[in-house]
A and B are shown apart, each in its own frame.
Chain A
Amino acid sequence: MDSSRLPVLIEVKNLHKWFGDLHAVDDVNLSISQGKVVVIIGPSGSGKSTLLRCMNYLETPTSGEVWFMGEKLTTDQKDLNRHRAEIGMVFQSFNLYAHLTVMENITLAQRVVKKTNKKEADAIAMEQLHKVGIADKADKLPSQISGGQQQRAAIARALAMTPKLMLFDEPTSALDPEMIKEVLDVMLLLAKEGITMAIVTHEMGFANAAADEVIFMDYGRIVERNTPEDLFNNPQSDRTRLFLSQILQK
Chain B
Amino acid sequence: MALQNPATATSKVALKELTKQRLRTRLASFPWWLAAIGLIIATTLYLIAKSPSFNEAFSTIRAGIGVTLTITLISYSISLIIGLVTGLGRVSKNIGSQNIATFYVETMRGIPMLVSIFFIALVLVPGAVDLVGQLGTKLSGLGLTGIGNMLAAANNRAVSMSLRAIIALSITYGAYSAEIFRAGFQSVPVGQMEAARSQGLSHGQAMRHVILPQAIRNVLPAIGNDFIAMLKDSSLVSVLAVRDVTQIARLYAGHSFRFPEAYTTLSVMYLTMTLMLSMVVKLIEKRISPNGQ
Contacts and interface: CB of A to CB of B under 8 A. Distances in A.
A58 B291 contact: no
Interface string B216-246: 0100000000000000000000000000000
A86 B200 CA distance: 8
A98 B200 contact: no
Contacts of A108: 196, 199, 201, 209-210
B contact patch SS: helix
A113 interface: yes
B194 A112 contact: no
A91 B194 contact: yes
B293 A77 contact: no
B200 A84 contact: yes
A77 B217 CA distance: 29
Interface string A74-97: 000100011111111101010111
Interface in B12-59: none
Contact of B191 (A77, A82, A93): A93
Task: Give the residue among A99, A109, A112 with the most B Cβ atoms within 10 A.
Answer: A99
A12 interface: no
Contacts of B195: 89, 91, 95-97, 154
A34 interface: no
Contacts, number: 69
A143 interface: yes
Interface string B167-206: 0000000000000000000000101101111111111010
B194 A81 contact: no
A25 interface: no
B206 to A, nearest CB: 9
Nearest to A143: B293
Task: Give the residue among B189, B200, B210 with the most A Cβ atoms within 10 A.
Answer: B200
A56 interface: yes
B213 interface: yes
Contact of A113 (B194, B200, B203, B217): B200
Interface in A95-143: 95-99, 108-109, 112-113, 141, 143
Given A108-B209, A112-B209, A98 B192 contact: yes
B121 to A, nearest CB: 40
A143 B258 CA distance: 59
Nearest to B203: A77
Contacts of A98: 192, 214
Contacts of A99: 210, 213-214, 217
B198 A87 contact: yes
B203 A85 contact: no
B201 A113 contact: yes
A154 B214 CA distance: 18
A58 B200 contact: no
Interface residues of A, number: 29
B198 A56 contact: yes
A147 B199 CA distance: 21
B200 A91 contact: no
Nearest to B217: A99
A154 B203 CA distance: 20
A95 B192 CA distance: 6
A81 B293 contact: no
Contacts of A82: 200
A5 B210 CA distance: 41
A77 B205 CA distance: 12
B255 to A, nearest CB: 56
Contacts of A158: 199
Contact of B210 (A56, A77, A97): A97
Given A81-B200, A97-B192, A99-B210, 5 more contacts: A58-B198, A84-B199, A85-B200, A97-B196, A109-B196
Question: 7 tightest CB-CB pairs across the interface, nearest first?
Answer: A85-B200, A109-B199, A95-B191, A95-B195, A89-B198, A84-B200, A113-B200
14 contacts: A58-B197, A81-B200, A84-B198, A87-B198, A88-B199, A91-B191, A95-B189, A95-B191, A97-B196, A97-B210, A109-B199, A113-B199, A113-B201, A154-B195
